[in-house]
Structure 1
Amino acid sequence: MAGFTFDVQGMTCGACVGRVERVLSRVEGAGKAEANLARNTATVAGGDATELATALDAAGFAAREDRLTLAVEGMTCASCVGRVERALAALPGVLEARVNLATESADVRFLAGALSVDTLSSTVADLGYVAKSQKSSVTSEEKTDEIAALRRQLLLALILALPVFVLEMGGHIFPPFHHFIAHSIGTQTSWLIQFVLTSLVLVGPGRVFYRRGWASLRHAAPDMNALVMIGTAAAYAFSVVATFAPFLLPSTARAVYFEAAAVIVALILLGRWMEARAKGRTGAAIARLMGLAPKTARVERGGEVVDLSLEDVVVGDTLHLRPGEKLAVDGEVLEGQTYIDESMLTGEPAAVAKGPGDMVTGGTVNGTGALRYRALRVGADTMLSQIIRMVGEAQGARLPVQDLVNKITGWFVPAVLMAAVVTVLVWLILGPSPALTHALVAGVAVLIIACPCAMGLAVPVSIMVGTGRAAELGVLFRRGDALQGLQSVGTLAFDKTGTLTAGRPELTDMILADGFEAGDVLASVAAVEGKSEHPIAQAILRAADARGLEVPAAVDFTSHTGYGIDAQVDGQRVLVGSARFLKREGVEIGDLETTGATLANSGKTPIFAAIDGKAAAVIGVADPIKPGTVEAIEALRAMDLRLVMISGDNEATAKVIAGELGITEVVAEVLPDGKVAALDHLRRDGDKLAFVGDGINDAPALAAAHVGIAIGTGTDVAIEAADVVLMSGDLRGVVAALTVSRATMRNIKQNLFWAFGYNAALVPVAAGVLYPLWGVQLSPMLAAGAMAMSSVFVLTNALRLRWVAGERA
């Protein structure tokens, strides 16, 4: 049967086949449906893909989806985007098609099995463009070749157009030159030379405008190329008639405009060459990320260490890393000690010590040591590949504002064509003599000056550069629309533990009783705590290790639930626990009790220690505030944001931490499953809210917030639930994310104002509205120059985002 076939999941028997066929055939427009149990496919004669998938889902089956990204060459304006998007969306089985002019790509989501790469590519090719699958997409070398080819076409057009311009316009600039031409080679010979040179321009460098323009007209979807084609063809055809059949024209209208046709092509090629160069720079962030990965790796194979291409490395391989080399893949250290520079991921300048059992990341740089490590994630699964994918998806995203732009540009080119026709008719009826000449000049100027290119580029290039800059600052926008959403956030809520604080307790204070030495007391306490798994015990052990203390052995260890612990250390009985524990054991605490109360009031946990029946010390343990957090909070306050801390701690402790940070609003004693309710309460006035967290219990809140910001050093679950990821735990990344978001949206508004303002102001000027007042009529050549520079302005303005200041996350 005719129609399209796609994959269906969930069919297990003949009854399932019948249900699938009945469900699909009931969808409006679907017609007859046939299901195949052996191949798990369904074939339908028609119907909307989304409705078919929804119907199957409601019946307990699933239409498997697939996704493909095409690199599309030849798109030049927003009209091109609309044409390609509509053509792809109309294919049977397509669920969604999104085309991006800045990335020159088309992202197609379709029912798996319904379409092939060849079908998608040929559909785009029928429109006059070239499409390649993502696996064979345009490389940087091909992009360089494209720019070089444009440069060659531009130079050829300039070489051919310059004599035409001089011959025709030289007399306007320097009047004696006109008489020189008339008395030397003659006006007719001059026109013949111009005809030959202009013809070469149009059939050579200008052929691309005619090929693509004719294709767009054939599909009843005119684009920028169609405007250029009609404008230059009109000027050229009029000039050919004036040259070879002047008797067909009134004597007052016998003039040639070969220079307009030739120079317009040259100027537009100049603009496109400059656009191509600027577009190349917009993708610099991705190029730099891709450049972080080495091309080869040293792998153990067959008892030898050999150099292999990165594509040949598989999970489980053992790799060797020499000093100064980049790690090839993500893995686990098997042997060796070194320091790894992970700044490309975390932004932290200090190298990180690595030894057996530690995880290492592909693309990071080894220090002076050598390692053997086992490959755990390779290819597309490595962290670097995932970062590149996330940045690429964010750069290709379409913000809500883009849909409005696309609607406007959908009717823009037809409106320009109509405006050109009206302009010609008005000049023919009301214009001064020679009316035909004025009508031609005005009509061509209107066609040429209109610039849908700038409209189409205004939003995507800013997104592309902005998200790239964010990646350089250690901020990954997992969803492109988060870029727009973040700039309108009024409230910023933070999880406390692991986000504002380090997430693990550390020893902060140690106040000794008279007659005791700090090193001796800490070593004895660490000996006892070494028998405990409590987080506070680990904090004390880390402190002893950091001070290089030799921790003695502890024997006869006893745990007193709710009170503390005790053991024999070097023949002395050591007690560690609460004040009431020491009192219960008959130890006099004295002034240390007051000191402990002071520590508690400052948000720290007091731990008392006694040795041989005497109070020895009170130790303060707390979850310290992360480095950079105070500076980040100050910067966020300066942005006029409402800052809130959400914590499961008791209110007194939470307010102490908040006070140190300068956060005045605290929601304390929140259970792990109560954070979403806390967010709902905070935004009851309609204020848009962002939430920053790191743990598994933060995932629901990250998903529920308008914008969820995950700490990159946190859990994978939290990162998957978030819209924005900070590659390190430094909260200055939140400042960077907000700075980039605000700057990008401001840049988009500037671009849109320019693109629409340019057309609103200059199309009427090209039509001749200034002529009745000041006798000024815009030359088509000047119109071409203005049009070319309009797109270049938008691109150049977007490139300013590459220098947006911000703290590296």
Structure 2
Amino acid sequence: MLATPVVFIFGRRFFISAFRQLRHGKAGMDTLVALSTGVAYFYSVAVMLLPTFWAKKGLPGHLYFESAAVVIAFILLGKLLEMRAKGRTAADIKKLMGAQPATATVLVNDQPQIIAVRDIQVGDQLLVKPGEAIAVDGAILSGRPLINESMVTGEAIPSQKESGDSVYAGTINENTAFTMRADKVGRNTVMASIIRLVREAQGSKAPIEQLVDKIAARFVAGVLCIALLTFFIWWAFGGPAELSRGIIAVVTVLVIACPCALGLATPAALMVGIGRGATMGILIKDAAHLQKLAGVTDIVLDKTGTLTLGKPVVQEGLWLDDDRDINAGYPKSAARLLAAIERSSQHPLAEAITSYAISVYGKDYSKNNDIDFDHNANAASYINSVFLPGLGVEATLGNDVYYVGNARLMAEKNIVVNAGSEKDVSPEKPVDFLTPMRHDLTAITSFLQAHTTHTIVYFAQKSAKDNRGTLLSVMALADILKPDALLTLQRLGHQGIGLHMLTGDNEAAAALVASQTGINRYLAGQLPADKLAYIKTLQTQGKSVAMIGDGINDSAALAQADISIAMSKGSHVAMDVAGMTIVGDQLSKIADGILLSRLTGKTIRENLFWAFFYNLIGIPIAAGILYPFTGFMLNPMIAGAAMALSSICVLAASLRLRYRKLK
């Protein structure tokens, strides 16, 4: 009553699969499970219904229902562990497709009309408003927007676009409306290409599945041959009198050879390894990644958000305030004013500049009336900021105008270095930006030369009574390395792993990070297709490649790589496509993950060895090889217990991974 539902309801999948394999002339692990449990069950039924028949033969009428039920239970446990180790793939494509807008604004005779994206034709003129996602690939016709291209390049800082520049579907318009021409629509856009590349890269079968299938096919075939040979030997040498012993020997062989330990050897170790990784902040979705990570030969890293923090930071500032003794300390009044201006700004660098200004004057005056300027205690409440596309920010305070922006803005506004200190400067004598006035020019020149790879932002003041402005500060902004980046790369290098860096950023920024980290192999300006091609090139050279990234632009390369790793603070699509996600963005966990993978691989090999060793010793004994010499015949119940014990040993060996030290 208890064994029947276990075998034929919960275990029906094995019988159905074995029948289908038989129809195609094949045999697998399901075949052996079905045979062993089926023979044990029906033999027990025969013993239960015909007890006198076995008694006349001088054989005990043992029942083996529990063996059949235990076999099914252990195999289903192994299947459960395997299913939990498998990852989802459908959600990846859905999230990528969700990045594309459903509608767009098309200009027809200069009149805006909202249509479905699928109806856009090549050559159509589109109007893209602030905050909207761009619907198709094309070129800007008018306007100078800031475009967040992290969908394609993965870079945190939005790009300033001019007329004629290319824009891509799925990227975001940050600040001002612009018009564009549709050049690529539908399946030809960059975002559609990323979706297609992810689908193709995810189509391959995990190597671990192929390995288990090959082992199971040979193992099952061998066990079936041994079982048949056992029966015919007992029949041939013992005659009809030993037929019952032959049947018991066959049942014992099939029970003891049931691949519980073999079925648990890999998934048990993988699941324990996955659990150990989770406690370390390494989330593993695909068990194949954990197994294959041990053999990685090369690691390809994205730059922004992976090696670096992924957001700009003011790394150094130079203050040139005339009214204060710079040697006595920072000009705190100017820094407070800069913070007040940037708080209300929508510029992508505003947060970084605000944080820097606050650090200069040492206190976050969050309320307007707390900002104490020398000339106006409540001046911040009168600040009127205007965003200047492609230039920076203009802020008006009383009779003074302040500018925060790039060198082009300074040149257009006739900003000079401490021009007020020179008596011969007048409105009739225009002064170019950074015209030599005092020793400050030398300091600025040295500052700029020391930060050629940084984004430079200037802060200046211009009085209404003076046509010339005065430069107050120069700041250098850049994305910085994560605190543990250098140490992690050194650890990986010591493990004999080749390091590569691919980034969508410019050559100067890439070269800076490469020099800081010691990575000799790097490429800048890489689009998603370029990263994917680079991964494939390494793979054709026989390399086992791990890809580490954090953006949607990395999704295709992550899916193509042998081992894919994403950072948890990056794109959700990258995390879903990747087989491993590093929680907390600590790069050091990558090296820990490799060590964990190697220990897991070692445990898997040990489990497989003992599983096969158990069968190598147990099957001949179950077949009755000792009977002619000692009269010993292995009882199927003992065989079932031995089978269960082998599975418990495999599980216990796998559980050791929880307590092994990662040296």
In structure 1, the partner of 2:493 is 637
The answer to whether 1:703 aligns with 2:559 is yes
1:542 equivalent among 347, 350, 355: 355
The 5 Å alignment of 1:36-115 reads: 74=6, 82-85=14-17
2:504 equivalent among 624, 631, 648: 648
Shift of 1:500: 1.9
Range that drifts further, 441-450 or 539-548: 441-450
Q: Is contact 1:222-1:414 (8 Å) kept?
A: no
In 2, Cα distance between the equivalents of 1:567 and 1:784? Answer: 83
Taking structure 1 as reference, are residues 764 and 775 closer, same or farther at Cα in structure 2, changes over 3 Å only? same
- The code of the aligned residue for 1:507 comes to V
Shift of 1:496: 1.0
The 5 Å alignment of 1:331-342 reads: none
In 2, Cα distance between the equivalents of 1:541 and 1:406? Answer: 63
Q: Is contact 2:37-2:71 (8 Å) kept?
A: no
Taking structure 1 as reference, are residues 560 and 508 closer, same or farther at Cα in structure 2, changes over 3 Å only? same
Shift of 1:421: 0.6
In structure 2, the partner of 1:310 is none
TM-score, normalization by structure 1: 0.49
Taking structure 1 as reference, are residues 627 and 279 closer, same or farther at Cα in structure 2, changes over 3 Å only? farther
2:531 equivalent among 675, 691, 701: 675
In structure 2, the partner of 1:492 is 299
Q: Is contact 1:476-1:725 (8 Å) kept?
A: yes
SS of equivalent to 1:691? strand
In 1, Cα distance between the equivalents of 2:495 and 2:11? Answer: 39
In structure 1, the partner of 2:136 is none
In structure 1, the partner of 2:36 is 224
1:418 equivalent among 228, 252, 275: 228
SS of equivalent to 1:624? strand
Q: Is contact 1:492-1:692 (8 Å) kept?
A: yes
Shift of 1:769: 4.5
Q: Which has the higher contact order (CA 8 A, sep 6+)?
A: 2
In 2, Cα distance between the equivalents of 1:520 and 1:424? Answer: 101
In 2, Cα distance between the equivalents of 1:496 and 1:593? Answer: 29
SS of equivalent to 1:535? coil
The answer to whether 1:767 aligns with 2:623 is yes
In structure 2, the partner of 1:524 is 337
In 1, Cα distance between the equivalents of 2:310 and 2:353? Answer: 15
SS of equivalent to 2:512? helix
Taking structure 1 as reference, are residues 90 and 604 closer, same or farther at Cα in structure 2, changes over 3 Å only? farther
In 2, Cα distance between the equivalents of 1:556 and 1:457? Answer: 69
Shift of 1:697: 2.5
Range that drifts further, 661-670 or 739-748: 739-748
User: What CA RMSD, in Å, does the superposition of the two structures yield over aligned residues?
Assistant: 5.1
SS of equivalent to 2:451? helix
In structure 2, the partner of 1:605 is 455
In 1, Cα distance between the equivalents of 2:29 and 2:388? Answer: 66
Taking structure 1 as reference, are residues 234 and 662 closer, same or farther at Cα in structure 2, changes over 3 Å only? farther
Taking structure 1 as reference, are residues 644 and 606 closer, same or farther at Cα in structure 2, changes over 3 Å only? same
In 2, Cα distance between the equivalents of 1:661 and 1:721? Answer: 27
SS of equivalent to 1:645? strand
2:217 equivalent among 388, 396, 407: 407
Taking structure 1 as reference, are residues 240 and 273 closer, same or farther at Cα in structure 2, changes over 3 Å only? same
Taking structure 1 as reference, are residues 83 and 592 closer, same or farther at Cα in structure 2, changes over 3 Å only? farther
In 2, Cα distance between the equivalents of 1:285 and 1:678? Answer: 28
Q: Is contact 2:549-2:558 (8 Å) kept?
A: yes
In 2, Cα distance between the equivalents of 1:624 and 1:409? Answer: 55
- The code of the aligned residue for 1:424 comes to W
Could you list the runs of 5+ residues in structure 2 that have no partner in the other structure? 87-205, 372-378, 411-415, 418-431, 463-468
Deviation per CA, 1:112-161, whole angstroms, max 9, x where unpaired? xxxxxxxxxxxxxxxxxxxxxxxxxxxxxxxxxxxxxxxxxxxxxxxxxx
Deviation per CA, 1:203-262, whole angstroms, max 9, x where unpaired? xxxxxxxxxxxxx9xxx984322454577789999995686x5xxx7xxxxx6546xx37
In structure 2, the partner of 1:620 is 476
In 1, Cα distance between the equivalents of 2:222 and 2:49? Answer: 25
Shift of 1:517: 2.3
Q: Is contact 2:627-2:633 (8 Å) kept?
A: no
Q: Is contact 2:85-2:285 (8 Å) kept?
A: no
The 5 Å alignment of 1:321-470 reads: 399-408=209-218, 410-411=220-221, 414-425=224-235, 428=238, 446-470=253-277
In 2, Cα distance between the equivalents of 1:669 and 1:488? Answer: 29
In structure 1, the partner of 2:443 is 592
In 2, Cα distance between the equivalents of 1:777 and 1:783? Answer: 13
SS of equivalent to 1:622? strand
In 1, Cα distance between the equivalents of 2:284 and 2:81? Answer: 20
Taking structure 1 as reference, are residues 788 and 491 closer, same or farther at Cα in structure 2, changes over 3 Å only? same
Taking structure 1 as reference, are residues 235 and 443 closer, same or farther at Cα in structure 2, changes over 3 Å only? farther
In 1, Cα distance between the equivalents of 2:403 and 2:237? Answer: 102
Q: Is contact 2:568-2:584 (8 Å) kept?
A: yes
Taking structure 1 as reference, are residues 236 and 635 closer, same or farther at Cα in structure 2, changes over 3 Å only? farther
Could you list the runs of 5+ residues in structure 1 that have no partner in the other structure? 1-71, 92-98, 102-215, 250-254, 287-395
In 2, Cα distance between the equivalents of 1:805 and 1:100? Answer: 35
SS of equivalent to 2:585? coil
In 2, Cα distance between the equivalents of 1:257 and 1:82? Answer: 30
In 1, Cα distance between the equivalents of 2:638 and 2:659? Answer: 32
In structure 1, the partner of 2:613 is 757
Q: Is contact 1:645-1:666 (8 Å) kept?
A: yes
Q: Is contact 2:7-2:72 (8 Å) kept?
A: no
SS of equivalent to 1:590? helix
TM-score, normalization by structure 2: 0.58
Taking structure 1 as reference, are residues 567 and 237 closer, same or farther at Cα in structure 2, changes over 3 Å only? closer
The 5 Å alignment of 1:131-146 reads: none
Taking structure 1 as reference, are residues 724 and 438 closer, same or farther at Cα in structure 2, changes over 3 Å only? closer
Shift of 1:418: 0.9
- The code of the aligned residue for 1:701 comes to A
In 2, Cα distance between the equivalents of 1:414 and 1:79? Answer: 20
The answer to whether 1:718 aligns with 2:574 is yes
In 1, Cα distance between the equivalents of 2:480 and 2:81? Answer: 42
Deviation per CA, 1:458-495, whole angstroms, max 9, x where unpaired? 33334444444444544444445444444443222111
Q: Is contact 1:445-1:779 (8 Å) kept?
A: yes
The answer to whether 1:510 aligns with 2:510 is no
Shift of 1:539: 1.0
Shift of 1:623: 1.2
SS of equivalent to 1:505? strand
- The code of the aligned residue for 2:334 comes to V
In 2, Cα distance between the equivalents of 1:235 and 1:768? Answer: 21
In 2, Cα distance between the equivalents of 1:469 and 1:749? Answer: 18
Deviation per CA, 1:624-667, whole angstroms, max 9, x where unpaired? 22344445434433443222111233434323323433433222
1:730 equivalent among 582, 586, 591: 586
Q: Is contact 1:465-1:798 (8 Å) kept?
A: yes
Q: Is contact 1:238-1:256 (8 Å) kept?
A: no
Deviation per CA, 1:535-562, whole angstroms, max 9, x where unpaired? 2333102334564146654768788887
Q: Is contact 1:451-1:790 (8 Å) kept?
A: no
In 1, Cα distance between the equivalents of 2:397 and 2:528? Answer: 40
Q: Is contact 2:36-2:251 (8 Å) kept?
A: no
In 2, Cα distance between the equivalents of 1:740 and 1:79? Answer: 34
- The code of the aligned residue for 1:548 comes to D
Range that drifts further, 708-717 or 555-564: 555-564
In 2, Cα distance between the equivalents of 1:221 and 1:671? Answer: 50
Q: Is contact 1:397-1:479 (8 Å) kept?
A: no
In 2, Cα distance between the equivalents of 1:776 and 1:571? Answer: 112
